Amino acid sequence: MLSVLLPAVAAGCLVHPIALDAQIGKRALPWLPPDLARQIVRHERDFARGAASAVRWPESLHRPGGEEGVETAVVAQCERLVSAIRRRTPFSEVVAGLGALAHLVLDAHWPFPNGRTPDGAAFGNYVMAASPRIPMVFYGQNMVMIRGPSTGLRRLLLGRTAQQHRLAGLAAEDLARFGGPSQWRRLDDRSTSFAIASLTINHATTDFVNLASWVWYHGGGLVPEMQQAPDALLVWRGEPQPREAPRPHLGFR
């Protein structure tokens, strides 16, 4: 089973700082189907193990575009996860597979496809430093996609990667304004870079939630419909946790 969900190959991801993968899993907890969120909490280490394993997948699977690109890798991983759940694979392995999915989703959203260019590395450093201050925003449950065929997953991702390419240009301009990539520490929370970091993390989290919900739904799990006004964002305050928690943290703006 390990080989099916986590095909380990010697290569490496050069896109984004891998410590952010666990954050996507944590930030997703309030918006995921609660039964699935509880499994991720229970198997937190397996989630991290899966994300770390995805880092070693062939380089093309981390980059947007093409038949071998990250969009294809995400759809394939979602389909593998559905099969695994239907075959009653232990949840430790399913959650590891979700960790790998979170890694790929963040790759698909990352503005710079190469994290080793000066701008790409500076942006990665900045997002790591700013992430504790990035609010937890959910852009909405996509029930049409969740209940639909896997072709809808690819469509969602292709829209995102085009958008992220535009953000890379803005992030590079912002770095230049502050004195170049080596000056990334001068970026503050009012900078364009903070807005781009926030969009990247929150769009990745929202898409991860919808993709994981697609997996859960097609694997036979319950995906409760969330009450959300059209165009309203949901904001979670406090420590992220599965949303059946007694304290109401759900906020609208």
What residue ranges bind Zn ion (CB under 5 A)? 13, 15, 62, 107
Provide CB contacts within 8 A for 206, sequence distance 6+: 31, 137, 138, 139, 140
Structure-token match 């909490």, residue found: 41
Taking phi over 0 as left and psi of -120 to 50 as alpha, with beta for the rest, 197 belongs to alpha
Kindly state the tokens that stand for 204.
């990745």
What does the angle CA 112 – CA 115 – CA 121 come to, to the nearest 5 degrees? Answer: 105
- Specify the residue, 13 or 28, whose C-beta has the smaller distance to Zn ion: 13
What is the number of the residue whose Cβ is closest to Zn ion? Answer: 13
- Specify the residue, 13 or 36, whose C-beta has the smaller distance to Zn ion: 13
Kindly state the tokens that stand for 137.
């925003």
Instruction: Provide the minimum distance between the beta carbon of 100 and Zn ion in the complex, in angstroms, as a whole number.
Output: 10
Instruction: Provide the minimum distance between the beta carbon of 149 and Zn ion in the complex, in angstroms, as a whole number.
Output: 26
- Specify the residue, 43 or 63, whose C-beta has the smaller distance to Zn ion: 63
Instruction: Provide the minimum distance between the beta carbon of 62 and Zn ion in the complex, in angstroms, as a whole number.
Output: 3
C-alpha span between 82 and 173 (Å, rounded)? 41
Instruction: Provide the minimum distance between the beta carbon of 127 and Zn ion in the complex, in angstroms, as a whole number.
Output: 14
Kindly state the tokens that stand for 206.
């929202």
- Specify the residue, 49 or 62, whose C-beta has the smaller distance to Zn ion: 62
